[in-house]
Amino acid sequence: MPFSNQTFDDPLLNFATVLIAGIIGGELFARIRLPKVTGWIATGILLRQLQLPGMQTESGVNELDNFLPYMHFVLGFIAFTVGATLYFSSLRNAEKRVGAVLLGELLITPVVVGAILFFIGPLLPGGELMTRNPAILLAAIAIAGAPGTTVLVIQEARARGILTRTLLAAIGLIDMVAVAVFVFVAAFLGGDVSWLMALQEVAIQFGATFLIGLFCAVIAIFLTRTIVSPAFLGPTMVAIVLAAWGLASGFGASGGILACTFAGIAVTNLRHDLVRSCEAYLQSIGGVLFAAFFTFAGMRLDFGLVPQALALVLLYFFARLIAKVLSAYTSMTLSGGTKNVRKYLGIALLPHGGVAVGLILLVSSDSSFDPEVKGIVTTVGLAALAINQLLGPSATRLSILRSGEDHNDRPRLLDFLQEQRISVGLVGDSKEDVIRSLADQLYSTSTIQLSQDDFVRQVLERDAEETTCVGRGLMIPHAILDEGAEIRGVLGLSSKGLDLGAPDGRLVHAVLLLATPALERNRHLEVIAAFATAIVKDMNLVEQLYHARSPAHAYDVLHADDQAELNYFLEDAADRAGLREEELSKLEKANERELNT
């Protein structure tokens, strides 16, 4: 066929252009130590100005809609993976913080944003249209976050810690809160309905998308257990994401996001390994998915809207920032969050993304609203979103850096002691009571083939043979198992102390219960040596750990940067081998006696 100008309109060529441009933009931003996602979005904004063939956005034509199926798939995949982070057994000890965050987003964020827009907005240039309805709608939209952007920044920063864990657990649910509030206020303001009917509208949308997500998850689990081979677990999960979005498409973009989120929640709690298969399958092409998605997202943002209502746009941006910080600080204070979480969670929640765009578009297409209301919501909402998309990722990255949780994903000695495996307020009248209590926590947060009763029996027999109280308030009961590939354990803390008959006569404040595979005996010895040495040498650590106010505080104590001697990166283990040679030698002799029995 002869070469024609229509070649430049080919969707595949356009996709390739956007992808290459996005990759280059991301790499350039990374070189100046900014998140790649910011570079992708900025590149998209630049491409929009170029108005390339096949990607026109002017004169009432938006050829970017040709790529909506791709955008919806990536949004659905993001929603699915965010939902999959809500693995209930791993959220032990975090429920109070997550619940407080959601309550703050439901009550504080929209009230603060709505009040600022309603009372201050009309006083600004061009603010005469900022009446009750647009102020309330924008306040509801302000709740929404950007799970995809947030997850990407966390991955790029290689973050791990209490702030990161709280952020990951909350961001998907925050979008659910945003959709619920928006559906309620839109039904209440857009038609002559009572607040009760508006609540029914919310219940219908959430109920329908929950059933769709659950149905798709059950189908996926059935197929993988009966027909699909392990090699096709990943493709099957991709199909489930597509199906969930497609079945919920009648509710708009918000319905698709909700259905995929519910599907992720259902799959991860019914069969957790399937989520890992889906993530592993798409990991190799994750760069393609995200680079193109966020570049396209940037192309849909129009900075030309900013000058039209600059004062209102800035007011909305700062109102949302104030609301997020106030909401997060209040909720974390009331729920007993650690200092870092209180200080930085609000800034980390600044990104504003896909759900917000979908909600703004729903307003613009809703005939029940006056044109003036639709115009001000669309203009202010999208313009503020454009600013937020550029600054939000950097705000999240800054919060991670300031909290000290960046580059913490390297394996550490005590990685098995995550927050859900730590408890405070430990009680018990005897060693058996304490060990059985901790065994309940161990088995509820870990998968161990040996029955719990047999495990407890082995631990008690080991302690009866030679006490596991190592002195100075520390006890480390344990058992060596034939199964498993990694060490598992739980830590119980008692501020008052327990009389467990320690040889030194002291009360026991910390009980570390270990279940160690035979192949991990060396690490088992390193853990015992590290704890024993730290307890003897660092009284500040002892005071903070023994009297930790919550599992999150204890986690911060154990995983703090200044505890490298106790909880070091495993890649540094060889350098520290000489430091503990004497301690390990003594403990190894004791371990040999144990194995011989």
Please report the pLDDT score of residue 594 as a whole number: 45
* pLDDT score of 582 more than 60: no
Dump pLDDT digits (tens) for 138-172. Answer: 999 999 988 878 888 888 888 888 898 889 888 87
> Which percentage of the chain shows pLDDT scores above 90?
24
Least confident of 32-46, 305-319, 385-399, 580-594: 580-594
Q: C-alpha distances in angstroms, 70 versus 22, 243, 289? A: 16, 14, 9
pLDDT of the residue at 192? 65
Q: How far is Cα 28 from Cα 291, in angstroms, rounded to an integer?
A: 13
pTM attached to this predicted model: 0.76
Residue 207 has pLDDT above 70, yes or no: yes
**398: pLDDT strictly greater than 90:** yes
Q: pLDDT at residue 406 above 80?
A: yes
Mean pLDDT of the chain: 82
How would you label 9-39 residue by residue, b for 16+ Cβ within 10 Å and e otherwise?
Answer: beeeebbebbbebbbebbeebeeeebbbbbb
Give the other-Cβ count within 10 Å of 88's Cβ. Answer: 11
Mean pLDDT of 42-67: 73
Assess whether pLDDT exceeds 80 at residue 236. Answer: yes
pLDDT at 9: 67
Q: How far apart are CA 172 and CA 184, in angstroms?
A: 19
The residue among 538 and 185 whose pLDDT is bigger is: 185
Q: Assess contact for 316 and 138: CB atoms under 8 A.
A: yes
Note whether 66-288+302-403 and 419-596 share their fold.
no
| Cα–Cα distance, 596 to 467 (Å, whole number) | 17
Structure tokens at 330: 């209040």
DSSP-based three-state secondary structure for 307: helix
Least confident of 64-68, 423-427, 446-450: 64-68
How far does CA 499 lie from the centroid of its chain?
40
First to last CA, the chain: 81
Question: Does 580 have pLDDT greater than 60?
Answer: no
User: Smallest Cα–Cα separation from 254: which of 195, 191, 178?
Assistant: 178
Grouping H, G, I as helix, E, B as strand and the rest as coil, residue 470 is: strand
The pLDDT value given to residue 8? 59
Name the more confident of 294 and 329.
329
Most distant CA pair in the chain, distance: 93
> Does the pLDDT value for residue 359 go beyond 90?
no
pLDDT of residue 13: 85
Please give the share of the chain, as a percent, with pLDDT higher than 70. 85
Parse the chain into domains and list their residue ranges. 66-288+302-403, 419-596
pLDDT value of position 1: 43
* pLDDT band of 591, cuts 50, 70, 90: very low
Per-residue pLDDT at 58 exceeds 70: no
The CA distance from 491 to 210, in Å, is 36
Secondary-structure class of domain 419-596 per CATH:
alpha beta
Is the predicted pLDDT of residue 455 greater than 70, yes or no?
yes
Q: What is the mean pLDDT of residues 75-93?
A: 78
Among 57-61, 315-319, 414-418, name the one with the lowest average pLDDT.
57-61
Measured CA to CA, the distance from residue 81 to residue 270 in angstroms comes to: 15
Q: Which of 92-106, 270-284, 422-436, 503-517 has the lowest mean pLDDT?
A: 270-284
Better-scored residue on pLDDT, 559 or 223:
223
Q: Which CATH class is domain 66-288+302-403?
A: mainly alpha
| Measured CA angle at 176 (ends 171, 179), to 5 deg | 125
180-205 pLDDT tens trace: 888 888 877 866 667 778 788 788 88
* Closest C-alpha to 21, from 283, 296, 393: 296
The residues, any chain, with a CB within 8 Å of residue 480's CB and separated by 6 or more, are 516, 517, 518, 521, 524, 594, 595
